[in-house]
Chains A and B, each alone.
Chain A
Amino acid sequence: DARVTQTPRHKVTEMGQEVTMRCQPILGHNTVFWYRQTMMQGLELLAYFRNRAPLDDSGMPKDRFSAEMPDATLATLKIQPSEPRDSAVYFCASGLGQGYEKLFFGSGTQLSVL
């Protein structure tokens, strides 16, 4: 079955370090979403792309987070510098962009910032 692939699955880092999370959307999907999940806030939308163009990144702290799609097969989410409050599970999802959204989610990156 086609699936969204996220790497790494787990990441432990120290405060101040740069963190890069990667996502390979399902081939042929033209929308990509980044979500963050914590116990307190639940699932929050950070950013999303359509045809590799960023459509909305209003949910993302601009000073330290950046999201890009260098090509159609790769989406990246970077945090620099990382802070303990960034500890969360980060999910990537992709969809066909058909006017309604059946999103396929990856398994997530569990990030711990010490």
Chain B
Amino acid sequence: DAKTTQPTSMDCAEGRAANLPCNHSTISGNEYVYWYRQIHSQGPQYIIHGLKNNETNEMASLIITEDRKSSTLILPHATLRDTAVYYCIVSRAGGTSYGKLTFGQGTILTVHP
């Protein structure tokens, strides 16, 4: 699976949009981009995933560049409860190893009042 690069930490003011970048320049055509987050002392939580197109759900939006080499997770109105470690993961779809998610170090997002 392709490697991802994320900033170690980011800050955001409560109520503002949080934009978390991820670089995955070696991504291949059959690999999804996933975002998970882990709030302190809890198990990771799925946020969103995408292949080529931008995606939006009740939690966030995922913007994938046209060349698919990078993506941005957007939390439109960050709250204090969004303070967590955010993981960007690239993993292939299909085949015997699909679903095998390799977590990196992630981005520590701190939302300030």
Contact = CB atoms under 8 A, between A and B. Distances in A.
Contact of A106 (B36, B43, B49, B104): B43
Q: Give the bracket for the number of chain B residues in contact with chain A.
A: 20 to 34
Interface stretch (A12-20, A64-72, A93-101): A93-101
Interface in B28-44: 32, 34, 36, 42-44
A33 to B, nearest CB: 8
A41 to B, nearest CB: 10
B97 A43 contact: no
A101 B102 contact: no
Interface string A77-114: 00000000000000101010101111111111000000
Contact of B91 (A31, A93, A101): A101
Interface string B86-103: 010001011011111111
Residues of A contacting B: mostly? strand
A91 B43 CA distance: 7
A42 interface: yes
A93 B97 contact: no
Contacts of B106: 42
Contacts of A60: none
Contact of A55 (B32, B34, B94, B96): B96
Interface of B: 32, 34, 36, 42-46, 49, 51, 87, 91, 93-94, 96-106
28 contacts: A31-B99, A33-B99, A33-B101, A35-B103, A42-B104, A42-B106, A43-B87, A45-B100, A45-B101, A48-B99, A56-B100, A93-B43, A93-B44, A99-B94, A100-B98, A101-B34, A101-B98, A101-B99, A101-B101, A102-B46, A103-B44, A103-B46, A103-B101, A104-B46, A105-B42, A105-B43, A105-B44, A108-B43
